Amino acid sequence: MTKLNFPSHPLLLGFDRLERLVERTARAGTDGYPPFNIEVTAPNAFRITLALAGFREEDLTITVEKRQLLVHGQQQDNGNDSRVFLHRGIAARQFQRAFALADGVDVAKAQLEDGLLHIDLVRKEPEDTVQTVPITRG
């Protein structure tokens, strides 16, 4: 995989975090499992919905680390399952799905309902501030 070169313009100061975000997103897994939707639920609110048939709350972990939302799932093996499958089409594998969060976007809640994991996000409106910088004599 080739390294993505972020535009280096002399007026783009302090955008190194954005460059790292682009690189991290490019490295993220793209296997398509589990499938998910992202929807806008209000002007400053979003919902990520992951299809997780067969997963229980205790099989899932949701963390936020360095502005990255990580959803990890691993089904627990009961060991006493005596069922015999003729066809097993419902995935029972572990997964990790990552979503990059912008500054000011926080996780409000997560809810597992009918095989769908809903993660609600809210974006706080930044305060408009004007800073006056004093000029001192050299």
The fold of 36-123 is Immunoglobulin-like (2.60.40)
> Is residue 39 classed as helix, strand or coil in its secondary structure?
strand
Q: Which among 50, 20, 55, 26 has a CA at the least distance from the CA of 38?
A: 50
Identity of the amino acid at 81: D
Question: Hey, where are the domains in the chain?
Answer: 36-123
For the chain, what is the radius of gyration of the CA atoms? Answer: 21
Supply the mean pLDDT for the chain: 84
List of residues 6+ apart from 121 with CB closer than 8 A:
45, 46, 47, 48, 69, 101, 105, 106, 107, 108
Tokens of 111: 């809810």
* 26-80 confidence digits (pLDDT tens): 666 556 889 999 999 999 999 999 999 889 999 999 999 988 999 999 987 666 6
